[in-house]
Amino acid sequence: MGWKPAQAWTSQEAVGGYRHFRLVMQGGRGNERWVELEAVLDASTRRRIAWRDLCDREQWSSGWQQIPPQETVETSRPERPEADADPSSHNNAKASQ
């Protein structure tokens, strides 16, 4: 019988700024099993996770679980530098050239 992990996963803590992931690859045998997950909102964010870690409910839940509003992607993603966040400073720099 084949090994068939769930297709959708939710991390209990942000991983690369994201919490919802989808299965893209799996491999290994026995204790060496692993899955590769990619963030739903950013396919360039991929992580290879040991199957034993994925089975730990303190780290991961199968399916896409609802995230409390105070833990949305906007608050868990890394902050951008202030210069990038303030478009007026960028425009002022161009105007002075």
In this structure, are residues 54 and 8 in contact, taking their beta carbons and an 8 Å threshold?
Answer: no
For the segment 16-49, what is each residue's pLDDT rounded down to a tens digit? 999 999 999 999 999 999 999 999 999 999 999 9
For the segment 48-69, what is each residue's pLDDT rounded down to a tens digit? 999 999 999 999 999 999 887 7
* Three-state SS sequence of the chain: CCCCCCCEEEEEEEECCEEEEEEEEEECCHHHCEEEEEECCEEEEEEEEEHHHHCCCCCEEECCCCCCHHHCHHHHCCCCCHHHHCHHHHHHHHHCC
pTM, entire model: 0.68
